[in-house]
Structure formats: structure tokens, C-alpha cells
């Protein structure tokens, strides 16, 4: 057993070293394949020997913890915002205030650092291990997102070197441009609205309830400031060097300078070079380098006196608004698109910009022929930010948002709670029909080999398919006359469609394209209800009782099954043999928790919360998130919320600890 424990420890150390070389030193020493093999070996050993579980193991970066609410917790040291400057004159005025505020006649050195355009976070380390991660919040306290932050490879879970026993470090979470573009490409292909910009997407990613989804996001963390009482450092520049040696991802772009002329040279360089970076920056942060002088200067009520952020001016161009067209998404959402006279912006030729919704058009009071100002949101997505009042289009050419679908001419609808208009003719609108079928065959759904998006369009245009069920009626003779359809491709298509009948229920459910039901939610619904018939009969109350299912999802699911067209569609695909019931491999073991609705709350000593949940499900229990009269049992760890405990006691719900749970399970074996 000691040899197994030693091998696990050795693998963890090897993987951590390779992570450090890859993300911090940018000098990987093994291939991605070799790294994956090491990780798989460690995962297998840990699975076989749960007694050696370590929450800070490299395998825990894949996530899996689900958080319904993020607790608000205080920072040990406040996270102040920075004063902004937009000109050299403002920087010189800041320097003048600095010199008046310090008791020294010596010259003052500064550090210049890139100002990353992302989401600020605060990490706490105790004895070299990450124990807490918070959002910036209001600067005094933030939301705890530790589980999500642990999935980001450039955040060290365990440190190296001569780190202090207790400290906090500030960082910025960013999403590189390439990852953002790939994410949006996937969303567009699945009929979803693309994200606005990398910054907001990075920030939103940190608050996803399922940490395994965060693990799939291409996020980076850049660390930039230490906070603590026993750091053993004298300057900001030394702090950056020390943090890098401990394992933090500290960019080598920071510079220590001795004059404002050097600061200006740094700004001028990065004002141009920023366009070559793989991620977004929106300025430069200048700090007094000596920590003793920082202490002497202190803070205002909002910001440190010893630091300032110089903000770059966003690149903006003027061009003519030629027309507005409207795109129909898979869900029926209508997105207005501005068609522009082509213009060069941030190194790319821009001829279209999203207008998002009717409210945006009204706010800008747009007219065809307007001279509009265009910026790139987050340096990626073109957006219209204003209109040149001196060069307006004709008043009679004012843009009025369309009232009917540009594809099927159906009347558009807009809910008071939503910004977008929708075409509700989902069963006959050609674009929506094609989008729904393309979604059904996509990789995350049915993954039908031999059938792609272009072929779906071809089949629809030739009248062979009008919904997903029609795919299962296609014959060789129907397909042979079509362009680009040779015998081999036809056989591949028919075989791929036939093979999809074995796809599990959760894949079929996701493929149906129910609004707000993504792949993760589909899996949760499949596990909780077991069959399409049970799900169709579910009430909003029973749906929201399922972990991760909110009111919006529940209402959407109920609305879907109230539609006779959907019921008929499901009946058809059922006759073709698709899996509309979850296939569970029965074993001969007893299920001591069978059908018990169980809430898991708090922190556990022997197991993680996810391990407890998995154990409950393996023994027949049903995990729910909130306490109600239908709750059968609560498994409580340390830190269970007092309101949850009070409600349980008032309802007479039994509360047990993890050892009692295990005893109950083992007693029947």
C-alpha cells in the first residue's frame, strides 16, 4: 500500500511540475499526449484508492462540484479599485501628488504592468495550499468560487519554494481571443446567441454552477499583487518575481522604471504592441515600487494613492450604415445586423456589426445613411457605439424593428422580461427547422456520422425532411438523385442515422432542442425522471426540485410538452426505436436509499460533497437541492446553513452526518 501511495504522490508532483513548465515557464518538456497519459494513470490510481484522496490533486482540475449559491466572504485585505488617467497630463499630476506625499528627497521608481481586461479575483494560500478563491465583489468581500478557480490550470493549487505561511494574491481571469472565438463559433453552430466579449464571458464563466463546465472554458489567470503581513519583500517588482518563483503565472512584461519619461515610453510601446497579444488589455497600471512608500502614501476611501491605471483609448472608426438585416436563430430569436460600408478596424476589415435587439436600435435612433462610430467590443466583436450628429440619414429612413419574421412572415413576439423578439412559428419557419435538425445531428447531441449541416440544408430544400423524425425515413432511392450524393456517402448517412438509435436518452433529450436545456441539464433531467413520458408529465414544482433546475428551465420544459406538435414528434421517433428511456444496468446489490429524496449540505471530513452525492445516487437516492416537505433526509457536514437546518427541524426532516449515512448503507450489505 505504501508503494501505491508513493506512486500517487510521485505522479502528482510530476504533473504539477509539467503544469508549471507549460503555464508559467512556457517551456513544456513533454508532449500533450504524454501529459494526458500521466493524468489518466493518476486518475485510475486515485479511483482505485479513494483513501488517498486529495482535494488539491491535479486530477481535481476537471471540476464536477455544483454550487447553487456562492457564499459571500470577506477579503483579509481590501481590494481597492484604481484611479484612472486618460492623458499624460493626468499622470504627471499624479506623480506630483506622489512626491508631495512622501518624506524623501530621493527619486521614486515605479513598476509598469499591463492592465488585463478580465475579472479580478483574490486567492488565499495557507501553508502553500490554495484554501479560498473569491471574486472582487465590493472590494471588502466577494463571492467564494474556489471550486471553479481550481479548474484553471494557471492557478497553482499547491505552491513551491519559500512562500510565506499565509497570504493573499490578486489576479485577473481572462479569456484569450482564440478561445473566445472558438466558443462563439460553437454557440452559433448550435443556434445560440454569441457572447458579447471576452471580458464578460470570462467573468460569467467564474459564476457557472457546475465547475466541470468552467474547466472546459479557455481561461487564464495572471497574478499581479501580493497582500500579507509577513511577505519578506520590499518592492512590487520583487513581489512579482517571488510570486513567479512560487508557481504563479506572472507575465514577464512588467518593468521597473525610474522616471515618468520611462513610463510614457512603456505606454507608447504597448499602445501599439497590445494588438499582437493573444488576449485583451485596456491600459497600463503604474505603481510606486517601494512597499514602504506605498504604506506611507496610503489610500483614499476608494483607491490607493500609490497606483493609477492609464486607460487606452478604444480604436474607433466612422463609416456609413447601409442597411439592417435580421437573422433568425434556431430558437426563433431575431438578431438585427448592421450592414456597413467596409472599413478597417483594429487590423481587420469590418462590414457588419451586431445591433443586438430593438432597444439598442431605439437608443441610437438609427437611420439608414447615418455615419456611425464603430468600435470592437473587447477588440473582437464590432459594435456601433454612436452616431455622428453632423452626418445623419434622412428622418424618413429611421429604422423601425421588424414586426414579422423575415423568413416565414409570422408575427414576432417579445416577452416583457426579455430583450429579444422571437418568431414563434417554430414548426414551419424554414430557418428554425433547419437549425433544429442541425442541432439534433450535432456532436454533443446525436453525433450522426455521414450527415453534416450542409447536407441537412440540401435535404430540406429537396423536401425530404421537415423535422428530426423524417431523418429516420430516408431511403437510398430518395437520396441518390441529389447533388453531391454518391453511393458511399448515401450508405454512410443511412448507417449513421441507424446507429444513432442506440444513443442514450440524455443525448436524444438534448437533441430535441428544448430551450435552456443544454447537455448538462439534459443529463440531469434524464437521471432524475428516467423517461420521456415521466418528463412530459412533470410539473414545474417537480422540475425545480431537481438540483440545477431553475424556474426558467422548468417553465420551458413544461411549455415544450404542452405543444401537440412536440408530442406527435416524440411519438414518431419512439416508433423508429430511439432511446426515450434511461437504460440502467441493474445489479444484484440492495439499494438502501432507493427513492429517498436527499439534500447534501456542508463540508465533509472523509469525503468531498461530490463523493457523498455519488454514493447516495449509487445506492438509489435522489439528490435534491432545497429542503421541502418532500425531503426525506439531509446529510449534513460542517457549516450547514442555519436557515436550512431550521427549516428541516420545522418540517421534521431527519438530519444525519456522513458516518451515519455510510453505516446505513453498509448495514444492508
Active site residues: 115
CA distances from 6 to 10, 49, 127, 268, 457 (A): 6, 12, 21, 53, 57
Residue 6: how many CB atoms within 10 A of its CB? 10
Which secondary structure element, helix H or strand E, spans residue 292, and what is its range?
Answer: helix 291-297
**165 grid coordinates:** 505561511
Q: Which residues, listed in sequence order, are joined to residue 601 by a DSSP beta bridge?
A: 636
Q: How far apart are CA 111 and CA 306, in angstroms?
A: 11
Phi and psi (nearest 5°) for 511? -65, -20
Which among 145, 200, 593 is positioned nearest to 380, based on CA atoms?
200
Q: How far apart are CA 501 and CA 428, in angstroms?
A: 25
Which secondary structure element, helix H or strand E, spans residue 283, and what is its range?
Answer: strand 281-288
What is the helix, strand, coil percentage profile of the chain, to 5? 40, 20, 40
Contacts of 72 (CB under 8 A, 6+ apart): 137, 141, 142, 143, 144
Q: Which residues, listed in sequence order, are joined to residue 344 by a DSSP beta bridge?
A: 349
- List alpha helices for 355-503, DSSP H: 358-364, 430-441, 453-461, 476-479, 487-499
Contact 570, 592 (CB under 8 A): no
Q: How far apart are CA 304 and CA 131, in angstroms?
A: 27
Which secondary structure element, helix H or strand E, spans residue 211, and what is its range?
Answer: helix 211-215
* Residue 641 CA from chain centroid, whole number: 27
Spell 133-163 as b/e; 16+ CB within 10 A means b. bbbbbeeebbbbbbbbbbbbbbbbbbbeeeb
The DSSP output letter for 335 is E
Residues 371, 375, 377: CA angle, nearest 5 degrees: 145
Q: How far apart are CA 630 and CA 216, in angstroms?
A: 35
Q: How far apart are CA 260 and CA 115, in angstroms?
A: 18
Q: How far apart are CA 460 and CA 477, in angstroms?
A: 16
Q: How far apart are CA 212 and CA 305, in angstroms?
A: 40
Which among 31, 41, 112, 120 is positioned nearest to 81, based on CA atoms?
120
Q: How far apart are CA 606 and CA 612, in angstroms?
A: 9
Residue 451: how many CB atoms within 10 A of its CB? 24
| Residue entry with cell 416524440 | 570
Contact 91, 260 (CB under 8 A): yes
Q: How far apart are CA 381 and CA 183, in angstroms?
A: 13
Q: For the chain, state the CA radius of gyration.
A: 29
The two beta strands, 633-636 and 597-601, are parallel
**347 grid coordinates:** 487590423
Contact 123, 58 (CB under 8 A): no
Amino acid at each position: 500500500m505504501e508503494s501505491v501511495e508513493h506512486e500517487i504522490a510521485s505522479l502528482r508532483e510530476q504533473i504539477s511540475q509539467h503544469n508549471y513548465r507549460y503555464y508559467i515557464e512556457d517551456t513544456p518538456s513533454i508532449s500533450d499526449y504524454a501529459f494526458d497519459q500521466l493524468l489518466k494513470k493518476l486518475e485510475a490510481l486515485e479511483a482505485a484508492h479513494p483513501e488517498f484522496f486529495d482535494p488539491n490533486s491535479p486530477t481535481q482540475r476537471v471540476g464536477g462540484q455544483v454550487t447553487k449559491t456562492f457564499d459571500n466572504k470577506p477579503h483579509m485585505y481590501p481590494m481597492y479599485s484604481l484611479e484612472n488617467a486618460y492623458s499624460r497630463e493626468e499622470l504627471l499630476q499624479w506623480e506630483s501628488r506622489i512626491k508631495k506625499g512622501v518624506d524623501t528627497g530621493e527619486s521614486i521608481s515605479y513598476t509598469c504592468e499591463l492592465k488585463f481586461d478580465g475579472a479580478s479575483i483574490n486567492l488565499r494560500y495557507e501553508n502553500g495550499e490554495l484554501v479560498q478563491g473569491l471574486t472582487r465583489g465590493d472590494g471588502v468581500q466577494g463571492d467564494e468560487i474556489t471550486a471553479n478557480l481550481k479548474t484553471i490550470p494557471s492557478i497553482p493549487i499547491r505552491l513551491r519554494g519559500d512562500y510565506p505561511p499565509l497570504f493573499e494574491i490578486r489576479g485577473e481571469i481572462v479569456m484569450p481571443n482564440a478561445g473566445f472565438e472558438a466558443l462563439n463559433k460553437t454557440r452559433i453552430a448550435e443556434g445560440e446567441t454569441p457572447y458579447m466579449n471576452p471580458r464578460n464571458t470570462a467573468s460569467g464563466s467564474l459564476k457557472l454552477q457546475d465547475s466541470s463546465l468552467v474547466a472546459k472554458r479557455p481561461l487564464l489567470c495572471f497574478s499581479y499583487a501580493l497582500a500579507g503581513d509577513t511577505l519578506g519583500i520590499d518592492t512590487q517588482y520583487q513581489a512579482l518575481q517571488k510570486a513567479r518563483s512560487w508557481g504563479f503565472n506572472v507575465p514577464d512584461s512588467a518593468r521597473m522604471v525610474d522616471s515618468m519619461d520611462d513610463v510614457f515610453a512603456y505606454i507608447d510601446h504597448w499602445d501599439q504592441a497590445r494588438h499582437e497579444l493573444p488576449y485583451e488589455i485596456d491600459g497600463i497600471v503604474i505603481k510606486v515600487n517601494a512597499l514602504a512608500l506605498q504604506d506611507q502614501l496610503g489610500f483614499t476611501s476608494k483607491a490607493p494613492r500609490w497606483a493609477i491605471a492609464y486607460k487606452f483609448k478604444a480604436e474607433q472608426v466612422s463609416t456609413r450604415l447601409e442597411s439592417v438585416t435580421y437573422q433568425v436563430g434556431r430558437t426563433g430569436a431575431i438578431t438585427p445586423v448592421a450592414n456597413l460600408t467596409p472599413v478597417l478596424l483594429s487590423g481587420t476589415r469590418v462590414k457588419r456589426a451586431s445591433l443586438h435587439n430593438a432597444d439598442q436600435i431605439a437608443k441610437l435612433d438609427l437611420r439608414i445613411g447615418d455615419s456611425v462610430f464603430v468600435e470592437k467590443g473587447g477588440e473582437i466583436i464590432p459594435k456601433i457605439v454612436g452616431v455622428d450628429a453632423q452626418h445623419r440619414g434622412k428622418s424618413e429612413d429611421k429604422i423601425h424593428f421588424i414586426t414579422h419574421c423575415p423568413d416565414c412572415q409570422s408575427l414576432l413576439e417579445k416577452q416583457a422580461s426579455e430583450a429579444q423578439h422571437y418568431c414563434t412559428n417554430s414548426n414551419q419557419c424554414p430557418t428554425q427547422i433547419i437549425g433544429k435538425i442541425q442541432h439534433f445531428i450535432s456532436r454533443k447531441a446525436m453525433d450522426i456520422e455521414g450527415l453534416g449541416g450542409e447536407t441537412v440544408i440540401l435535404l430540406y430544400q429537396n423536401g425530404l425532411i421537415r423535422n428530426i423524425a423524417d431523418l429516420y425515413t430516408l431511403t437510398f432511392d430518395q437520396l441518390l438523385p441529389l447533388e453531391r450524393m454518391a453511393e458511399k456517402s448515401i450508405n454512410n448517412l443511412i448507417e449513421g442515422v441507424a446507429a444513432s438509435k442506440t444513443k442514450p436518452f440524455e443525448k436524444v433529450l438534448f437533441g430535441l432542442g428544448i430551450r435552456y436545456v443544454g447537455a448538462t441539464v439534459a443529463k440531469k433531467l434524464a437521471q432524475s425522471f428516467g423517461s420521456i413520458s415521466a418528463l412530459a408529465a412533470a410539473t414545474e414544482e417537480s422540475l425545480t426540485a431537481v438540483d440545477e433546475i431553475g424556474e426558467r428551465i422548468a417553465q420551458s420544459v413544461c411549455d415544450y410538452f404542452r405543444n401537440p406538435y412536440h408530442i406527435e414528434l416524440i411519438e414518431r421517433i419512439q416508433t423508429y426505436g430511439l432511446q426515450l428511456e434511461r437504460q440502467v444496468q441493474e445489479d444484484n446489490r440492495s439499494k438502501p436509499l432507493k427513492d429517498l429524496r436527499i439534500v447534501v449540505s456542508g463540508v465533509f471530513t472523509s469525503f468531498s460533497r461530490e463523493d457523498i452525492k455519488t454514493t447516495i445516487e449509487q445506492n438509489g437516492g435522489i439528490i435534491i437541492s432545497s429542503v421541502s416537505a418532500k425531503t426525506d433526509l439531509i446529510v449534513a457536514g460542517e457549516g450547514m446553513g442555519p436557515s436550512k437546518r431550521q427549516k428541516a427541524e420545522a418540517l421534521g426532516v431527519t438530519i444525519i452526518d456522513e458516518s451515519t449515512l455510510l453505516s446505513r448503507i453498509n448495514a444492508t450489505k
